[in-house]
Amino acid sequence: MSLGYRIAGYEFSPTEVRDLLVAWLALGVAFAIFFAGGGPNIATLIFVPQLLVVSLLTAGVAFLLHEVAHKVVAVHYGQLAEFRADYSMLFLAIMSALIGFIFAAPGAVHHRGYLNEREHGHIAIAGPVTNLLLAAVFLPAYLGGTALSVDLLATLGRFGIIINLFLAAFNLVPYGPLDGKTVKRWSTPVWLGTFLLSALLTVGSMLSIGLSFRI
């Protein structure tokens, strides 16, 4: 009898669910502080609670589903895979936001079992591809909010688009523990294509829609 949770056909242990929720909440708070302008403006979160909601639904969801995508593909290849939060890095994310910048590395999906380079590459690229798809999901919210002059909806879409595009591009940098290194090792053309697409879309979205909070 399983003691975990079965969500969309995938098993999540109680520890994994806890770590995913803690990471989601911590990153939501960290990005909300960062969006507000850092520690000196933290009172903004009291007077503008919508900022925390937008942060949880954009930055929080972007990181959460990025990691879940790694797990889903790893399980598809027969791996035992679970997300584990890095609590020291989550604390660092909040502290860095307080001083005006943000560094977020919430944890990672750990898996074990035999994999070839192609399978490793597929697991690695699943996260950035999920962020690209999420950016497309947020596009109608931005367009609808802009067309209807609903600032909160437009802001939700704006943040969702740019944060997901940036996460895709950043994680595809072929350095250290980032996904790009594993993807490039598997297929340089695939890595180059997805990295350039993500980077160009990130720059284009920043120039065209910007990143500002309005209600």
Angle, to 10 degrees, between the axis of helix 188-209 and the axis of helix 151-171? 150
CA distance to 24, 28, 143, 153, per residue, from 160 (Å)? 15, 13, 12, 10
Q: Residue 84 half-sphere exposure, CB side, CA atoms within 13 Å?
A: 6
The tokens for 21 are 């929720």
Question: Whole-angstrom Cα distance, residue 156 to residue 141?
Answer: 7
The tokens for 134 are 């999420």
Question: Whole-angstrom Cα distance, residue 215 to residue 210?
Answer: 15
Closest CA to 138 of 163, 168, 106: 163
Buried/exposed code over 79-92 (b: 16+ C-beta within 10 A; e: otherwise): bebbbbbeeebbeb
CB 50 within 8 A of CB 28: no
**Which residues carry out catalysis?**
67
